[in-house]
Structure 1
């Protein structure tokens, strides 16, 4: 015992040299009697951490290869090796674990069976159920946070053999026991939800966006940071220097303004303006200049904006008369003397990074980072308040699941007033020292293709609408450097996925998120292969698995009851990316935030392997004859007849049935009668089908919003106009 105690002390000391371990939830471990600890599996040191920091000394079931790799440590911990396959050795290992439980001991298991290389929580093996069955032992979920990228974990597809960072924070979180007869799906959900709680505790108190940018700039001084199709290029050193200059100006000239408006498209100047505002201790608010004067003025008033940073070149292209408080970046930049610029460059270069962070970094990770006004596709835009913790947690989760190198180049086409543009194409590259290149108009496919080819872009994020433009107008050579093409914002049509793969030889990966969640909830990633293993990262038709640190529940919309795997219901999401709330609207905030869960208003399902499927917005279902009718299913059926020509289904009030479905389409050579007849022959329920007189040809559908989403409010208005003319004609 003395030898074991000394060895335990030595192992703890070695781990303390690599990690700052925080243990949470020890009160959930039983003080006596049998128990099973079931944990996620992210590194070769997981077993050691749980063994050392739990009250009991659990005997872990380990795959034979992992048992042999741990060697004497595994034997010292009395781990139980599991041979591969379903032979007698497996049964003997499981029986030994059951006997340990019968003696009142503790058994540890990794239900995933292998170390995750995709960063996601993998499917669970039924072995854990076979261990617990009939023993009455409680199952304690465990989540390890902070080990991804650490020693003996997988990072960028490779096993980490040297610590990338010493004294990295690690959380060992023990949850409340689940019932011994819980299904694998229920256990998986318990561990996933525990991960969402642990992820919220992981970031340091001063981990902020501008501090990440400063650190990245100091590490990558001469590398390309920003470029745009207007010809501007800046290294990280020049970007940091320019941000320091503008931050100083804002502190001196606008000391009492907590928020600063930014009125610019996606470009290098807009990226610099956002970083400078953050470095000045203020909150950037990127204004949607396409939303109309009334909506923009509403956002300005809600945020109390007095200064709007813009550029003369941009204002010459758009019509925005009468806006007060505009400051032109050209004028600010021109006012700096050569001496001031040189002094700022020298200070930024020679001052230690920690000092620069103290000078230009804010105080708290929980302070407001930005306000994003939702697209308003179904209702009036709401000001979504996102903290630094919200956004950084999303960035870190994305970094864990994508294999990247320092030569990556993010192609930004989404505006920064769109949350995917702000988080994924502005903050993501600048937080990790990647290059970002921008084009202000995502519909100009030829310019996007040329920009991607010129800078050898490797990651492109857009909506299905925009990817449709690129499919038609960009060449395979222009997109030959892309490694990731990620679609979000709308349901991704299967036909577009196949056509994109055929033309560019690259899978179009679908993801899902909302402004209120900073934004990414789930995303498909390429499958990973290595050492005889294949870990599935994507599944056609799904939006991928929830990213690390995010938990998803599927609820029955009317009762809020949690539904089992495979059942369709309303999606609720929990994680550190969940917004602070709606600006100036606590009542609406309380309606959608319930005990840490955000009610998305989207309908979807989780399968047994953890892949998420999103059907549609709850608002895009119509209740007809007591049954919920999904608009998207009808659109998919009609789209097949129209060979992909745009169509949309919406609903209007109906005095008899509550709602009536209306179909709008643009293909002139197909009559409404043909569409109606085709629907009658389909396998769709008759209750779902619109009446013949409610199928209308229109010259064009409303243009998409800048986010790429369909403008559903304008669609409903157009449908009402069509029905008014149709009713008048029949009268």
Structure 2
């Protein structure tokens, strides 16, 4: 199909559906994405989304209504998403396997009037004609209700306006320099803000070709093979995705990642050890781009510049996520919470910019707590160096305080995860009434539970000795547990508060394969 539409620039689009319509008019046969080897063109995306909009309208839905999308990575997700947006309604993307209790809680909180799920209803949705007229949302109308991952609290609905989303997408593609000539390979789930806003919306904005893989990849080599086959220039993953490749892909025969210009890493602490090992094994250069963002800022706050070696702080423990993106300001709260921290001083990260949310849905008090004095108070800890580069050191709520000493869990987890036999670990602090302080607990998933008892005992001693050697103190307790015992959010973040509750109440006991008592002094004189 040949287009007769005049030349246009994506910046002219005021909303996401406007972007779909303009791209379909300009390049109807252009492939928006490839899913399981099947291409989806811009024209089919536009036409089918309009039919979905018609089906929703025929069932009484209209502007402002919340529509929950409980779908895996599939074409129907995009049709339902953009069909909802075309109608002026508000999509609420949800993780398909959250479980009935949490899903029901989010349905109630979101006040969802409809749910679109699995393709049993596809024929029904596609049978309706497009609406006769479409609304024209304002920039400050709610575009998306994005629920947080719930790593430190119950998931909350983040209200993002059309202006928030469009400004963030423009800012991100400018920062990472993606063009229509590029290919992106991603396995990130579409309910995750990076997978949806950064990848799906970013490729729509630029015209870059998007190759989507299922999020539940059983073999991480599939991801690397897709990068090789499609000569992809861009990919993205939390640190654990790259670590998963290192743990499971030892034979690199047939893999060629030389096309990569940027491998973004975000959503959890970025480990220098992961970057260095991945570079060495898979023969990539300075392609890693650590990034920092959060749902309350729509997504991106800072992204490391393309093609530059990563920067590490003087201690060698923290990797910079770059300077703030264009239009974004970052400040660090000082020790008393009012003043600004000095260069290199750790404090709460504050953010200001066009992506900062409208607020939390049905939670005005929570909104007031985090949106104060024109700044978003992120709850994350970090510092800025002399050149304005941001370093993220942890979560305010996650910091373990043992006799006045602050311990960053991610720092210890990197040490423990590097030990042979450990699959995944979490550091938590439990209040101790007798001492009046917290006690440091290490919970570590082992690779298998078939070791002899003395093997587990040696592994626990190795954990204690390694932490003592590198940080000068030992944990109060070490719990070795079976795989999949540490609770995580839908985006893979450790749910520390949930884990602490499980340990404190003894509800992890059936998962424990070995436990120590107090294996040494706590960090009183570390």
- Smaller-chain TM-score range? 0.7 to 0.9
State the secondary structure of the residue aligned to 1:240. helix
Deviations 1:417-443 (A, max 9, x none): 211122112211112222223223243
Structure 1 657/672 Cα, relative in aligned 2: closer, same or farther at 3 Å? farther
Structure 1 454/608 Cα, relative in aligned 2: closer, same or farther at 3 Å? same
Deviations 1:624-667 (A, max 9, x none): 22232222222334345558753221111111132111012245
Contact 2:331–2:349 at 8 Å: present in 1 too?
A: yes
Q: Which residue does the alignment assign to 2:428?
A: 650
Q: Which residue does the alignment assign to 1:279?
A: 86
* CA distance in 2: counterparts of 1:538 and 1:450, whole angstroms: 25
Contact 1:373–1:381 at 8 Å: present in 2 too?
A: yes
Residues 190-205 of structure 1 mapped to structure 2, 5 A cutoff:
none
State the secondary structure of the residue aligned to 1:674. helix
Q: Which residue does the alignment assign to 2:311?
A: 539
* CA distance in 2: counterparts of 1:715 and 1:453, whole angstroms: 38
Please say which structure displays the higher CA radius of gyration.
Answer: 1
Q: Cα distance, 1:263 vs. partner?
A: 1.1
Q: Is 1:697 aligned to 2:480, yes or no?
A: yes
* CA distance in 2: counterparts of 1:593 and 1:233, whole angstroms: 42
Q: Which residue does the alignment assign to 1:405?
A: 179
Q: Which residue does the alignment assign to 1:587?
A: 365
Q: Cα distance, 1:619 vs. partner?
A: 1.6
* CA distance in 2: counterparts of 1:468 and 1:211, whole angstroms: 39
Structure 1 590/489 Cα, relative in aligned 2: closer, same or farther at 3 Å? same
* Match 2:332 to one of 530, 554, 574: 554
* Match 1:514 to one of 276, 288, 294: 294
State the secondary structure of the residue aligned to 1:429. helix
Q: Cα distance, 1:292 vs. partner?
A: 1.6
Structure 1 703/410 Cα, relative in aligned 2: closer, same or farther at 3 Å? farther
Q: Is 1:253 aligned to 2:59, yes or no?
A: yes
Q: Is 1:464 aligned to 2:270, yes or no?
A: no
* CA distance in 1: counterparts of 2:51 and 2:309, whole angstroms: 43
Q: Cα distance, 1:446 vs. partner?
A: 4.1
Q: Is 1:596 aligned to 2:374, yes or no?
A: yes
- Aligned positions, number: 484
Q: Cα distance, 1:598 vs. partner?
A: 0.8
Contact 2:487–2:499 at 8 Å: present in 1 too?
A: no
* CA distance in 1: counterparts of 2:352 and 2:330, whole angstroms: 6
Contact 2:179–2:207 at 8 Å: present in 1 too?
A: no
Q: Which residue does the alignment assign to 2:277?
A: 499
Contact 2:257–2:284 at 8 Å: present in 1 too?
A: no
* CA distance in 1: counterparts of 2:292 and 2:443, whole angstroms: 26
Contact 2:62–2:88 at 8 Å: present in 1 too?
A: no
Contact 1:286–1:372 at 8 Å: present in 2 too?
A: yes
Structure 1 388/537 Cα, relative in aligned 2: closer, same or farther at 3 Å? farther
Deviations 1:680-706 (A, max 9, x none): 333x354xx423xx1222223426433
Q: Which residue does the alignment assign to 1:615?
A: 393
Contact 1:211–1:361 at 8 Å: present in 2 too?
A: no
Q: Which residue does the alignment assign to 1:200?
A: none
Q: Which residue does the alignment assign to 1:289?
A: 96
Deviations 1:443-498 (A, max 9, x none): 33244345444544332222112222334349562645433211111112222101
Q: Is 1:269 aligned to 2:76, yes or no?
A: yes
Q: Is 1:212 aligned to 2:212, yes or no?
A: no
Contact 1:271–1:426 at 8 Å: present in 2 too?
A: no
Structure 1 412/674 Cα, relative in aligned 2: closer, same or farther at 3 Å? closer
Deviations 1:489-527 (A, max 9, x none): 111222210122121414322111111111111111224
State the secondary structure of the residue aligned to 2:412. helix
* CA distance in 2: counterparts of 1:289 and 1:412, whole angstroms: 18
State the secondary structure of the residue aligned to 1:577. coil
Q: Cα distance, 1:238 vs. partner?
A: 1.6
* Match 1:232 to one of 21, 38, 47: 38
Q: Is 1:306 aligned to 2:151, yes or no?
A: no
* CA distance in 2: counterparts of 1:599 and 1:214, whole angstroms: 36
* Match 1:710 to one of 475, 488, 494: 494
RMSD: 3.0
* Match 1:331 to one of 110, 124, 127: 124
Q: Which residue does the alignment assign to 2:136?
A: 362
Unaligned stretches of 5+ in structure 1? 1-163, 169-202, 314-327, 345-355, 528-535
Q: Which residue does the alignment assign to 2:315?
A: none
Question: TM-score, structure 2 length as denominator?
Answer: 0.84
* CA distance in 1: counterparts of 2:489 and 2:236, whole angstroms: 16
Q: Which residue does the alignment assign to 2:4?
A: none
* CA distance in 1: counterparts of 2:515 and 2:226, whole angstroms: 50
